């Protein structure tokens, strides 16, 4: 704890007072790719461009390549296969300069750009693949989830537990190397090494769950730790999952806390501080038991940043010592959208000594999905009339909530370039 507090004091002294900043950055440009009315769009400054000409259903947010020159997106299509209509998830890449759309796979999911070049990893069933945007190559089998290594030379991947007559097996983490090249892998097991076998049961205190899958794999900023979420069987996972951390050498494994499905943990920008919203139970059981916490491995001293009688819906890091949360007053679930709580955004410091409400939405609307953009020193969020709705109006403001303005109305999924 002493080490963590010492780091916090140093960071507070060297970090700018972002909450009171008003100065415009040297380069105020940021690009937004978004889905609206069934089309894919881009907005940069005041210029807006529609990229697709046919209405479609898109899966998840579009993803910018590392250099911002390409967009990766997923489009749902219905095909007649064996006399049956089936929905497929096509993977496409759009080139910003040539304005060309290229389909890179007919039915894949979980696509991710490489961290250092314009190639895309994705899954088709249990197979992990890489596309160089012209051809695709099989990399590994039996993968349930994965993440690129920070240097782009391989992956951390998970395999799910299997049900056998004597019970469930263990989920396992693997390392997969492509350092010798991904185009000519003849034996898909030769570059795979077992990294860590997850215990069959994990938990904290009296709360235990069976370990079935491991997902949401993320490296810490200093690349010393890997966070991931262990889930039980599907219906159980809606209410209770376990956030875990393991050292990159695989020697130290810790279960951090219970979390609920859909609440994504996030590392700070430069220091190995892991923020997460703790608490089991899906939202239909009530807007409660959702507390923002921050911990630092290997000390694992945890800051609990949520006041009594409040619940957090989402958060974003502002810098390594402060965050912005979407917060509601604790309440029960209501089937009437008008009776559900309407969140506001709050700025808070990591020690919890300073907490300030920075948005006051109209009575029938709430502010959700905060994302801070360090490159332009701006805060963005969705303002919507139902807390569980995916669609809303995208707003932008100073980090303290001032000079707020509507940026893009009625958007569904979106992403920014650059984010950092």
Under 8 Å between Cβ of 185 and 138 = yes
The pLDDT value recorded for residue 28 is 54
Residue in 82, 84, 90, 95 with CA at minimum distance from that of residue 107: 90
CATH of the domain at 358: 2.120.10.30
**61 pLDDT band (50/70/90 cuts)?**
very high
| Structural domain that includes position 319 | 309-420
Q: What is the mean pLDDT of residues 53-64?
A: 95
The pLDDT of residue 82: 67
Q: Is the pLDDT of residue 318 over 60?
A: yes
Cα gap 239→261, rounded to integer Å: 7
How far from the centroid of its chain's Cα atoms is residue 269's Cα? 14
Phi, psi of 68 (to 5 degrees): 75, 15
Query: How many other CB atoms are found less than 10 A from the CB of residue 313?
Result: 24
Cβ neighbours for 96, distance < 8 A, ≥ 6 positions apart: 42, 68, 69, 70, 71
Taking the C-alpha atoms of residue 215 and residue 173, their distance in angstroms, rounded to an integer, is 10
Q: In a 3-state reduction of DSSP, which class is residue 153?
A: coil
CB 312 within 8 A of CB 291: yes
* Res 24 pLDDT > 70: no
- Which has the minimum average pLDDT: 11-25, 140-154, 232-246? 11-25
Q: Is residue 357 part of a domain?
A: yes
Residue 259: inside a domain, yes or no? Answer: no
**Does 3 have pLDDT greater than 90?**
no
Which whole-number Å values give the CA distances from 171 to 72, 274, 303, 380, in the listed order? Answer: 30, 23, 30, 37
Position 16 scores a pLDDT of: 41
Lowest mean pLDDT segment, chosen from 22-36, 215-229, 265-279, 396-410: 22-36
Contact 137, 182 (CB under 8 A): yes
Cα Dmax for the chain: 67
CA distance 271 to 12: 13
Q: Is 93 exposed, middle or buried (0-12, 13-18, 19+ CB in 10 A)?
A: buried
Q: Does a structural domain hold residue 368?
A: yes
Residue 191 lies in a domain: no
Q: How far apart are the first and last CA of the chain?
A: 28
- Check: CB of residue 214 under 8 Å from CB of residue 271: no
Q: Rounded distance, CA 357 to CA 87, Å?
A: 44
Does 339 map to a domain? yes
Residue 15 has what pLDDT? 46
Give the count of domains, the chain: 1
Give domain status of residue 334, yes or no: yes
Tell me: pLDDT of 81 over 60.
yes
Q: Is the pLDDT of residue 160 over 60?
A: yes
pLDDT in tens, 89-119: 999 999 999 999 999 999 999 999 999 999 9
pLDDT tens-digit readout, 296-312: 999 889 999 999 999 99
pLDDT value at residue 124:
97
What's the length of the chain? 420
- Asked, for residue 121, whether it belongs to a domain, the answer is no
Is the model's pLDDT at 17 over the cut of 70? no
Q: Which residues of 199-209 are buried (b: 16+ CB within 10 A; e: fewer)?
A: eeebbeeeeeb
Q: Report residue 22's pLDDT band, with 50, 70 and 90 as the boundaries.
A: very low
Residue 412 lies in a domain: yes
User: The dihedral of CA 388, 393, 394, 399: what is its sign?
Assistant: negative
Q: Which residue has the higher pLDDT, 98 or 80?
A: 98
Average pLDDT over residues 225-246: 93
């Amino acid at each position: 704890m002493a080490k963590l507090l010492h780091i916090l004091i140093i960071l507070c002294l060297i970090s700018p007072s972002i909450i009171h900043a008003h100065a415009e950055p040297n380069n105020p440009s940021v690009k937004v790719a978004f889905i609206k009315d069934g089309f894919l769009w881009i907005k940069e400054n005041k210029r807006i461009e529609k990229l697709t000409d046919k209405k479609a259903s898109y899966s998840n947010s579009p993803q910018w390549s590392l250099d911002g020159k390409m967009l990766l997106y997923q489009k749902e299509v219905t095909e007649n296969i064996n006399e049956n209509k089936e929905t497929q998830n096509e993977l496409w890449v759009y080139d910003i300069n040539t304005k060309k759309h290229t389909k890179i796979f007919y039915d894949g999911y979980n696509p991710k750009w490489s961290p250092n070049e314009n190639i895309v990893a994705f899954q088709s069933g249990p197979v992990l693949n890489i596309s160089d945007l012209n051809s695709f190559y099989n990399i590994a089998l039996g993968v349930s989830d994965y993440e690129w290594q920070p240097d782009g030379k391989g992956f951390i991947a998970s395999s799910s537990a299997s049900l056998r007559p004597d019970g469930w097996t263990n989920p396992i983490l693997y390392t997969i190397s492509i350092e010798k090249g991904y185009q000519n892998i003849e034996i898909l097991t030769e570059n795979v090494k077992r990294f860590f076998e997850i215990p069959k049961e994990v938990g904290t205190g009296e709360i235990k769950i069976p370990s079935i899958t491991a997902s949401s794999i993320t490296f810490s900023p200093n690349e010393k730790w890997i966070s991931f979420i262990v889930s039980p069987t599907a219906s159980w996972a809606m209410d209770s999952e376990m956030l875990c951390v393991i050292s990159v050498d695989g020697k130290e494994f810790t279960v951090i806390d219970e979390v609920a499905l859909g609440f994504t943990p996030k590392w700070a920008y430069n220091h190995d501080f892991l923020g997460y919203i703790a608490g089991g139970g899906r939202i239909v059981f009530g807007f409660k038991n959702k507390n923002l916490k921050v911990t630092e491995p290997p000390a694992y001293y945890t800051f609990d940043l949520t006041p009594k009688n409040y619940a957090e819906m989402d958060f974003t890091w502002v810098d390594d010592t402060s965050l912005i949360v979407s917060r509601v007053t604790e309440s029960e679930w209501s089937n009437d959208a008008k009776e559900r709580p309407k969140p506001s955004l709050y700025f808070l410091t990591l020690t919890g000594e300073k907490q300030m409400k920075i948005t006051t939405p109209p009575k029938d609307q709430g502010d959700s999905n905060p994302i801070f953009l360090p490159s332009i020193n701006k805060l963005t969020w969705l303002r919507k009339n139902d807390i569980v709705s995916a669609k809303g109006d995208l707003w932008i403001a100073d980090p303290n909530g001032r000079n707020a303005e509507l940026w893009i109305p009625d958007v569904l999924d979106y992403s920014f370039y650059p984010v950092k």
